[in-house]
Structure 1
């Protein structure tokens, strides 16, 4: 027996040592992939040495003798920290994720192959002006990325996923990723099917809560009149007075299923791939007469889905002035595969971004030829659909063939997932029209110029070249100017057409007479009130041009405007930081106000815990809407809002459309209007056909369900577990962290956080049941006082580096949660003092 125990002990010790050795070898292997931040490296194509100083946050301060060397070094260093992020974003945009991540990404790839971002990028590259200075900058940056990929160890993620021979990066990749960013702004694929279903299946009384103009004819009304003139036969169209399409019919159940599936996949694409989705943003600029320093102040915090690596990679670029160049300096926030800062500042000027959220996508219902399924009705003729074949490689499976059909209005989007049609031969093809497919969109030129726009005129000119996606550029300079331009190519539509719904091509609703002038876009320069604020609210252009869009609920912007307008002078950096971290708005009051008497009645009538329910209702009545860490009221309110939405809306919409609605901005506008409408038909439960439920009935049901859920989750006696931060948490998820146990290695968090949905501190969890995972929020927080731009303050949600085990992988995560800021070093003396290591990039001769 002793011998047996000895053998067992030896075996266990051997196993332990083997595991320890394997862990040590794995750790050592992973550390061999760490970025090099000191010593020397040799780069092809450099004409002179480039010095890189790394500060305490891992931000590189790059000094080169010319811009070509500067951007080649930028590409190399960006890839050193973020090559896997670059690879993932390229593959998402091109529809090539299933090749490395397996069948679960197949539907995502089908969607992005149908969108055709890579094909569109190829067209745009051919149209680029090679004489514009932006072109050699892009090429130098990509050369730097490719040299890193060819000469340095590939990231650990490449090894895990079996990516051994990645393709070189090209300008087409950069523009395809830019197309993805434009797609991620758009809400049409999730919103338009839901609103159209409500209008056409449920009726105008149900549509009323969504605050859209009611079109009594509907998009597919039998009274539709055909518009457009016949044109000469071009060999691909059939003249058709006698072959005019039949009277349009309503979308079928199969149509609604497939449109709902497109909406689901459009959301899941980002969640499964771990690639950030752009959601909202705050930005403001204050004139010098409102600040304590007497100089303008700029603040911004773009709201983007959290991810790991973080969205932004920071770098300080500089080229000294010489006889041949005026010099260049910029502290920038960069996204993968772009050499141009999307956010930036220097000693002279700076800018931030918010999403304009204008509607630049239309879903268009087509009329198929009953005698020829390969034709649709277009401007008085039957025209042939184009087709292209795609083959999607699938890791661990057989390649998947995909046929994509192209209409005159764009790709047919709803037949990507043919299985949802259930063999319905009468299905209506729905095309996607997108400004990205039509506009010139010189976005590379635009950001090259914006990175150098130190005057109002230069910033205005650069903004005019941003066509897709729509962006609000909020800008300020040290000379005393502030400005805002809603940058987008705003499309003209026929009179009476509401693009919030699926458009009927046979009625001419999808025709586009042209675009409005940039001068007609919403914009302001040096307004008399002394400040500019942008919080994704619908802007009001002085020109009167209609600005359709999917805007956020206005309460966040109203809160920002209230605070900015009431403090008329003396603004400091600390004041702007406090506003970025503000956790209050009147949104909760708008929902609760009409419902408090009903909640009190529900608490009185409840047979269980009546006294405690009264206390909770009283707390809701007295609550100012603050989502502080210890607030129990915030938890109760958010659970109740979800239960109210589910009880009122889910029975009419069904699971798929209801879940899609919860992911749209339309739900935030709808719920306060629903709460205030005592006669809304949504209050009736269609599951009880012999009863007519009232608002009071549904509110009582939602209240009981909210409390029951929280009691089940935490127990009734442990009321401290109902605190907001115990139920509202942030985890930075790495794409590989979705597979256990890799989540323990790659993910960072969870962290209990305050803030909440559509508050200035917009740590947004979405409408759903507790506990809530924060899925998007401030992707950085920046405040720049142009009296001391070298002391500008900022923070990253997690860290600079995307390389596991690097000291900058997660070194800012705790500071971010605690609302702390760190200096973005710009002044030469400060850069030297903050230097932790120096890397010299030498020409490889």
Structure 2
């Protein structure tokens, strides 16, 4: 036995040593020298204490080639998975469970569109030259250095990255903004199946003349519900970033302590591992930028230097319409379009599946766009639903836009760059050291026929689905140097000076109103310190709007002194969500139960789940509790009529029962930090063993849904997993941009077991800011390693 145990110990030691040697070989190289073909001169890459590379090159071609190399060193697997998701190629490496996702993205035509656009680009333009150099750096890394451990686990065969891959990833980003596939079927179902009175809580215009000319059948509704669920699952289940919201503001020098503009920004994005942004500080003669880079995109999408800075929020304009086509009863391959029957285009594609035979799919397109219910394969409905999407209908020179924005040091240059962003819709908030601040809502806005409400599925047999052209950029919402001395953007519906209506899926106004209330205080001089407090604010006035109309019903439902005390805490609550709050837990559970008890019976499981995923529910709940006569309070399940008071009482009892069952009878054990947590999930972390190795967390998370510190969870029963939140929190005072603050939700590196894989995670969730080194002295004093890239 002694010899056996010794042998086993030796085997374990050898195995551990082998695993350590293997993993060590996968780690990024941040010291020494490496040769890189195509360089005209050496490039120095200094890594700071967070693993952020500071690149210094003698020309911009070398700079972008080196950026591609070091970006791939930290994030190659993220790049690979993103291009596969966007192009519908995940099943090839992850197996048949990803077939529905691949089928959806093939249906969306993102890869097909990217291939066509790549062939049309001007190879001599500065932005395309930058992209080609960047991609060459990625491909050289992939061809010459150890591949990520995930490639080995999944058996991924490396292939070069292309311009079309970059454009495909841009398409994925645009799609992740779009809410139409999740919202329009739901709103149309409520309108056509329940009726006008049920729409009132959503603050939508009722247009009885807009009901589809050919009513959808039961199978069509099943398809639409399934499509909404597939769309959400494809984004949520990929472990990749999805853009959700954001805060940003710019304060002019008249309102700051330094006398120079201050920029703040925290884009809200679905948490992923690695995180969406890759920080890099780039320097070449005539160019310098500290930027945040998206995988496979060389230009920074957020950035600053000593002269200017900018951030982004989602515009959330509706740039995607669903259109029900009328089928020719004598020819199922024809639909009615502009007064005549026209053929549907058809094509067949093959999806490679790991461990199985390829799957052939047939995809169709009408004159309005791709038929999206083809994503379901064998659908149960008979009505083709087409998708008109601005991303597929515009030139959309995003590469040029961000290349120019990275160099835009004046209002005129920034405005000209922003005008090139056509889809997805973005708000760009910008400031410079010369004293200017500006905001432009960037999107190419379609002209729809008068009276058409694109919140609903449109009738393809009528003219309501037609587009009459595009609004000029000058009609978009925008401001430059407003007299009030600040600009704030927080995803609420903007009011353009042009007076045009801009349909969209906007967030509640509460978050923006809270920020505006504080920024409007003329007695405050803003600096980096008090701006941190504003970004980390965990409060909202939303609970008061929901609760005030039903407090009497809650008091009547509460049994005993302890429950009465809980209702009183709700009545007195200021809406803040710190880690020790019990009231925050009670309110968020009650919010779900109110929605469920009032609305699930009318909608059914699939459409109620769609409602929980949508921003429409946020709008509906305060309006619902304020209207005791809303038809949503009536029972539709055959159990008889009900009143608001009865439903509120049922929601109260269900909330307490759930919290007691999950966390114990003592309400003090219901603290927010116990029930509201953040885990950064690796794409392979769904496997239990790999999850323990690769996932990061859980961390107790303050903040909540639609507060400035928007660490947000899906509305549902406790406990809650934070889904999205600040992808970085940046603060730049342009009096001295070298003192800018920022950070990363997890770490710079996507390489498991690297020192920078998760070194920022615990601090970020609690609001820790990190310095962003810009001055030569700071870079030198914080350099942890220097990599010299030499011409080969």
Q: TM-score, normalised by structure 1?
A: 0.93
2-side partners of 1:122 and 1:272: how far apart?
A: 26
- Deviation string 1:745-804 (CA, Å, 9 cap, x unpaired) is 000000001100010000000101100000100000000000110010011111000001
Correspondence list, 1:239-638, <5 A: 248=214, 250-320=215-285, 327-421=286-380, 424=381, 427-603=382-558, 606=559, 610-638=560-588
Q: Tell whether 2:620 aligns with 1:661.
A: no
Aligned twin of 1:170? 162
> Structure 2: 5+ residue runs without aligned partners?
none
Q: Tell whether 2:238 aligns with 1:207.
A: no
Aligned twin of 1:126? 119
2-side partners of 1:760 and 1:565: how far apart?
A: 16
Deviation of 1:18 after TM superposition, in Å, equals 2.2
Give 3-state SS (helix, strand or coil) of 1:784's partner: strand
Residues 555, 567 of structure 2: 8 Å contact kept: yes
Aligned twin of 1:228? none
Deviation of 1:673 after TM superposition, in Å, equals 0.7
Aligned twin of 2:211? 219
- Deviation string 1:99-156 (CA, Å, 9 cap, x unpaired) is 1111111100000000111110112112223332111101000000000000000000
Residues 338, 462 of structure 2: 8 Å contact kept: no
1-side partners of 2:358 and 2:522: how far apart?
A: 61
- Deviation string 1:565-610 (CA, Å, 9 cap, x unpaired) is 125441110111111100111111110010111100101xx4xxx2
2-side partners of 1:567 and 1:389: how far apart?
A: 62
Correspondence list, 1:36-115, <5 A: 36-115=29-108
Give 3-state SS (helix, strand or coil) of 1:391's partner: strand
Mean Cα displacement is larger for which, 100-109 or 518-527? 100-109
Deviation of 1:24 after TM superposition, in Å, equals 2.7
1-side partners of 2:481 and 2:138: how far apart?
A: 40
Give 3-state SS (helix, strand or coil) of 1:780's partner: coil
- Deviation string 1:708-762 (CA, Å, 9 cap, x unpaired) is 0000001103x33200000000000000111111001000000001100010000
Correspondence list, 1:719-734, <5 A: 719-734=667-682
Q: Tell whether 2:727 aligns with 1:782.
A: no
1-side partners of 2:6 and 2:766: how far apart?
A: 43
Q: Tell whether 2:180 aligns with 1:198.
A: no
Correspondence for 2:131 among 134, 138, 141: 138
Residues 292, 571 of structure 1: 8 Å contact kept: yes
Deviation of 1:13 after TM superposition, in Å, equals 4.5
Residues 599, 699 of structure 1: 8 Å contact kept: yes
1-side partners of 2:621 and 2:189: how far apart?
A: 18
1-side partners of 2:785 and 2:302: how far apart?
A: 25
Residues 289, 569 of structure 1: 8 Å contact kept: no
CA RMSD, 1 decimal: 1.0
Deviation of 1:271 after TM superposition, in Å, equals 2.3
1-side partners of 2:367 and 2:10: how far apart?
A: 66
Residues 320, 390 of structure 2: 8 Å contact kept: yes
Give 3-state SS (helix, strand or coil) of 1:390's partner: strand
> Structure 1: 5+ residue runs without aligned partners?
1-6, 222-247, 321-326
Aligned twin of 1:797? 745
Q: Where does structure 1 differ by over 6 angstroms across 4 or more consecutive aligned residues?
A: none
Q: Tell whether 2:696 aligns with 1:748.
A: yes
- Deviation string 1:46-68 (CA, Å, 9 cap, x unpaired) is 00000111101100000000000
Distance 1:656 1:16, change over 3 A: farther
Deviation of 1:33 after TM superposition, in Å, equals 0.6
**Alignment: residue pair count:** 792
Give 3-state SS (helix, strand or coil) of 2:290's partner: strand
Residues 494, 513 of structure 1: 8 Å contact kept: yes
1-side partners of 2:590 and 2:561: how far apart?
A: 18
Larger Rg: 1
Give 3-state SS (helix, strand or coil) of 2:461's partner: helix
1-side partners of 2:201 and 2:552: how far apart?
A: 21
Residues 199, 218 of structure 1: 8 Å contact kept: no
Deviation of 1:217 after TM superposition, in Å, equals 2.1
Aligned twin of 1:769? 717
Give 3-state SS (helix, strand or coil) of 2:334's partner: strand
Deviation of 1:484 after TM superposition, in Å, equals 0.1
Q: TM-score, normalised by structure 2?
A: 0.99
Deviation of 1:416 after TM superposition, in Å, equals 2.2
Aligned twin of 1:157? 150
Correspondence for 1:26 among 10, 19, 38: 19
Aligned twin of 1:692? 641
Residues 410, 434 of structure 1: 8 Å contact kept: yes
Deviation of 1:16 after TM superposition, in Å, equals 4.1
Residues 730, 750 of structure 1: 8 Å contact kept: yes
Correspondence for 2:776 among 822, 828, 838: 828
- Deviation string 1:58-114 (CA, Å, 9 cap, x unpaired) is 000000000000000000000000000000000000000011111111100000000
Correspondence list, 1:665-680, <5 A: 665-680=615-630
Deviation of 1:27 after TM superposition, in Å, equals 2.3
Residues 305, 775 of structure 1: 8 Å contact kept: yes
Q: Tell whether 2:178 aligns with 1:186.
A: yes
Deviation of 1:260 after TM superposition, in Å, equals 1.1
2-side partners of 1:785 and 1:624: how far apart?
A: 31
Residues 258, 415 of structure 1: 8 Å contact kept: no
Distance 1:385 1:633, change over 3 A: same
2-side partners of 1:194 and 1:830: how far apart?
A: 53
2-side partners of 1:826 and 1:772: how far apart?
A: 38
Distance 1:213 1:13, change over 3 A: farther
1-side partners of 2:135 and 2:523: how far apart?
A: 47
